[in-house]
Amino acid sequence: MKPEELLEQVIEIATEAGKMIRNIYQQGDFQRDIKDDLTPVTSADIAAHELISKRLTQLTPDIPVLSEEASDIPLAARSHWSSYWLVDPLDGTGEFIAGSGDFSVIIAFIQQHRPVLGVVYVPMSEECYYAVAGHGAFKRHQGQVQQLHSRRLPSSAHNLRLAISRRQDPAKVLRLFREPELCELLPLGGAALKSCMVAEGRADCYVRVGPTGEWDTGAAQIIIEEAGGRLLDTSLQPLTYNERDTLENPNFIVMGTPELAWEQILKAV
């Protein structure tokens, strides 16, 4: 089945999981814990993981699911996968716990180590960002569909609107820029939400310094690429999917306008 033939059903699955997460969030009745990697997890993460994994398996029984909440699959077992689902059931668990509302459901479809379909559903606003390779990127909200275009040439090559995590020290990100004083900071929670902000042209870039998993970037990558941007590591090299023992990403940058001289804008290159 072609990725575009799966899109609407994947949106339905993400929406169903998002509604469940929103209900748990609004009720405030959830358990929290700390995983072995010292990141937080809640009963909402686990419930969404179970729902999405079940629904995707029903949709495509022969295609494996790799979820953040069941990621302990060694490379030897997954290296032969030509395609698979890559899922973050609740991106922004820290934001969920803190009560900011900035969290999302992420589902990506990976073929031959490349994202070809991505859905990011935002439970609290009921916005849905999605893309299929070769078909463009879109945002759906309250029955309206908007095609996404990320490119915006700033008045100065260094006058950048920079999406940044509100729970990260800005200095760790700004030190990557040659002229950090010319960056306008736009704080937001959730890695996927900041990538989608770039995809719809509300920010020029998003730089992530610190641990993330491949599930954080799979859907975001195809959405930003179909919107006209790029998602690369901070040495401006492509990210990899299911090609290493670790599923942890390097530091990365989401660029709305790839034509800018990023090798001159960033110190890290």
Give how far the C-alpha of residue 261 lies from the chain's centroid of Cα atoms, to the nearest Å.
24
Strands 160-165 and 183-188: parallel
Dist CA 97 CA 38 (whole Å): 15
Structural domains of the chain, ranges and CATH numbers in brackets: 3-147 (3.30.540.10), 160-265 (3.40.190.80)
What tokens does 141 get? 């909200």
Dist CA 244 CA 123 (whole Å): 32
Count of beta carbons in the 10 Å neighbourhood of residue 40? 14
Residue 16 in this model has a pLDDT that exceeds 80: yes
Residue 169 in this model has a pLDDT that exceeds 90: no
pLDDT of residue 168: 79
Q: What are phi and psi of 206, to 5 degrees?
A: -135, 125
Residue 156 in this model has a pLDDT that exceeds 70: no
How much helix, strand and coil, in percent to the nearest 5, is found in the chain? 35, 30, 35
Contacts (Cβ under 8 Å, ≥6 apart) of 76: none
Measure the CA dihedral 186/190/193/195, to 10°. Answer: 80
The pLDDT tens digits for 235-245 are: 999 999 999 99
pLDDT of residue 133: 98
Residue 269 in this model has a pLDDT that exceeds 60: no
pLDDT of residue 237: 93
Residue 157 in this model has a pLDDT that exceeds 60: no
pTM for the structure as a whole: 0.95
Handedness of CA 149, 153, 155, 158 (dihedral sign): positive
The pLDDT tens digits for 56-79 are: 999 999 999 999 999 999 999 999
pLDDT of residue 189: 81
pLDDT of residue 154: 54
* Cross-strand pairs, 205: 162, 255
Residue-level length of the chain: 269
What DSSP state is assigned to residue 70? G
Dist CA 165 CA 124 (whole Å): 18
How confident is the model over 201-224, as a mean pLDDT? Answer: 95
Strand order in 160-165's β-sheet?
Answer: 183-188, 160-165, 205-208, 252-255, 230-233
pLDDT of residue 267: 84
How confident is the model over 217-234, as a mean pLDDT? Answer: 97
The pLDDT tens digits for 91-131 are: 999 999 999 999 999 999 999 999 999 999 999 999 999 99
pLDDT band at 160 (very low <50, low <70, confident <90, very high): confident
Dist CA 234 CA 215 (whole Å): 18
pLDDT of residue 158: 52
Handedness of CA 240, 228, 183, 128 (dihedral sign): negative
Count of beta carbons in the 10 Å neighbourhood of residue 158? 16
